[in-house]
Amino acid sequence: MKDNLRVVLLGVRGSIPVSGADFVKYGGSTICVLVHMGGETILLDCGSGVLQSGSLTADVQHLSILLSHPHVDHLIGFPMWPFLYEKGKQATFYAVPRGELSARKQMEALMSPPLWPVGFEAFHANLICKDILEPSIQIGSVLVEHLDLAHPGGASAFRLSYGGHSLVYASDCELSQGQLPRLSAFSKDCDLLLCDGQYSDEEYPLRVGWGHSSWSMAATLGKACGAKRTVLVHHAPQYTDNFLDKADQQLRSRYPNCTLGRCGEEFAL
């Protein structure tokens, strides 16, 4: 596997971390994806899965984090992330401002009283927060484009491109709200699509308006945009390994190159 074009799923659970014997294969850590691309190390969100990044970032001095939105399942990993307690390391967080909240304020909200005992001064690494104010930014040689998603409070999809390869990360989003054509155009012909597929097709009708998609909705997006591979993430916390295994088999038979993401799974672009 070429190390400069590598994607690792560190956490694929949505809403809240879960643990126990029923959650071993797909993992209980909330959403976090590690991307090695164009010489850069980039994390997509910073859920509790970031704590699985240890050996993968041991030799990395500087990395970037793209925050889709400040819901707690996407941020809960960073206050106890060992990387931020190491002198000489640097982490740059990027986020689209949400209302009055800059990127920094979105993160500070979690590390402030009464929710947390210490603030950013506890970190030994150099932590930088940058607002995304343009339609696209460069992280080194990687082009990062973003798109607003249908989700309570808003969220951003990201498209990362380098050397003719691209991946799209679209969690959290509800694809029923006129979102499919826009997100399909944004994701056109990507190599890897990581898409919110939180709910079974049976459960989704009970959760309309909650800001998440069903398995079929996410798979339909993958087909519509021509993604070479579609991986569903942000699994509902109550879905066990057995339940997700059955769904994964059905999905593979109905939609070629579409699967449910598992914690620790790797992809080479």
Q: How many CB atoms lie within 10 A of CB 10?
A: 28
Cβ closest to Zn ion, residue 13 vs residue 262: 13
For position 196 contacting Zn ion by CB under 5 A, the verdict is no
Residue pointed to by tokens 């993401």: 261
- Is residue 45 a contact residue for Zn ion (CB under 5 A)? no
- Residue 125 or 155 with smaller CB distance to Zn ion: 155
Q: Which is nearer to Zn ion, 31 or 251 (CB)?
A: 31
Give the strands of the sheet with 266-268, arranged side by side: 126-131, 90-95, 62-67, 40-44, 32-37, 5-11, 266-268
CB-based closest residue to Zn ion: 71
CB of 14 to Zn ion, least distance (A): 5
Q: Do 234 and 171 contact (CB within 8 A), yes or no?
A: yes
Under rule CB under 5 A, which residues in 46-75 are in contact with Zn ion? 71, 73
Residue environment code for 42-71, b if the CB has 16+ CB neighbours within 10 A, otherwise e: bbbbbbbbbbbbeebbeebeebbbbbbbbb
CB of 15 to Zn ion, least distance (A): 6
Residue pair 40/64 in contact (Cβ under 8 Å)? The answer is yes
Least separation in angstroms between residue 261's CB and Zn ion is: 14
Decide: 97 and 136 in contact? Cβ < 8 Å: no
89 binds Zn ion (CB under 5 A): no
Minimum CB distance to Zn ion smaller for 14 or for 79: 14
Q: Would you say 40 or 172 has its CB closer to Zn ion?
A: 172
| Helix pair 215-225, 241-254: axis angle to 10 deg | 40
- Which residue in 50, 63, 144, 172 binds Zn ion (CB under 5 A)? 172
Judged by the rule CB under 5 A, the positions of this chain that interact with Zn ion are 14, 71, 73, 172
